[in-house]
Amino acid sequence: MTRPIIGIIGNSYVQDDRYAVHASGKINCEAVSTVANCMPLIVPADPCYLSVEELLESCDGFLLTGGRPNVHPEEYGEPPTDAHGAFDRARDAITLPLVRACVERGQPMLGICRGFQEVNVALGGSLHPEIRELPGRDNHRMPPDGTIEEQFALRHVVTFTEGGPFHRMMGAREVMTNTLHGQGITRPGRNVVIDGHATDGTPEALYVQGAPGYALSVQWHPEWNAANDPVSRPLFESFGDAARDWAAGQGTPARRTA
C-alpha cells in the first residue's frame, strides 16, 4: 500500500566550507517514516527549483522543520538587526505561502521550532529575536556544550489549555519538552491560538483556529526520540493519520491526474 508523502522542508547548508547542499536531519525522516508511517521526501526550499503549487500537488502533508536561519523580520514589518541572526529568504519564499495555502486547503502541516515561527509569521504574527532578553523569560537556547543527547534533553514543562487539542491529544495538561530556540512569538497571527506555554510564559504550542485540516505547531523538537517519547509519539501519529485522511480524500499524489 502506498504511504502518504510528507514533504520535509529542507535547509541550505555549505558542506566542508565549499559544497552547497539542501538537507534535513535524519531524525525528521525517521519520525515521519517510523512514527507517522508516511514516506519522507526532503524538499529543497528554494523557489528557483520548485513552486508552492507543485509541492501542494506532490505531497499529502508538510513538516516545517527547525533551522538555524530565522524568518526575516521584514516578513512581519520590522527591520533586521544583529540580534536576528542569519536568514534564509529562499526558504521564507516557499514556506510562508505554503503555510497559507495549507490552511486554506486543509492540507496537513506540522511546524517545528522555526516552522512554529513560520506559521505565525505567515498568518500575520510577529517574533522577538531574543526572548531570553524579555523580563521574566528563561534562556531557551540549545546548551552550547555536551552530547547530542544532553542538548536534546527534556528541560522544561509545557502547560496546555484545558480541553484544547494538545491536552486531548496528549491526555495530560503538563508535559516535559526539550528547548533549542532563541526567538519566540510576540504577537500571534490571524486565528493562531497559543495552546501551550512554558513556565516563563513563552508560547510553545499553537493551532490555527478554523483551519479545515491539521494545522498544529510546536516550539520544541519532537522529532528527537519520537518513537519513544510520550509527547512526540502522539504528535507524529496524529500527523500521519491526518495525511492518510488527506490522501484518501484527494487521491495519493502518484495517482492524481490532471
- Report d(CA 121, CA 239) in Å as an integer: 21
Q: Find, among 207, 213, 209, 208, the residue nearest to 246 by Cα.
A: 213
Query: Which three cell numbers, joined as nine digits, stand for 89?
Result: 529568504
84 is catalytic: no
Place of cell 529568504: 89
Query: Which three cell numbers, joined as nine digits, stand for 148?
Result: 547530542
Amino acid at 200: D
Q: Which of 75, 118, 204, 223 is catalytic?
A: 223
Query: Which three cell numbers, joined as nine digits, stand for 105?
Result: 486547503
113 is catalytic: yes
Q: Which of 72, 84, 181, 221 is catalytic?
A: 221
Q: Find, among 206, 208, 144, 218, the residue nearest to 178 by Cα.
A: 218
- Residue 154's φ and ψ, nearest 5 degrees, are -65, 130
- Report d(CA 49, CA 166) in Å as an integer: 35
Task: Give CA separation, 18 vs 14, 46, 104, in Å.
Answer: 6, 19, 40
- Report d(CA 26, CA 78) in Å as an integer: 34
- Report d(CA 230, CA 170) in Å as an integer: 8
Question: What dihedral do alpha carbons 10, 15, 17, 19 form, nearest 10°?
Answer: -90
Q: Which of 29, 102, 113, 181 is catalytic?
A: 113
CB 240 within 8 A of CB 37: yes
128 is catalytic: no
Which residues are catalytically annotated? 113, 221, 223
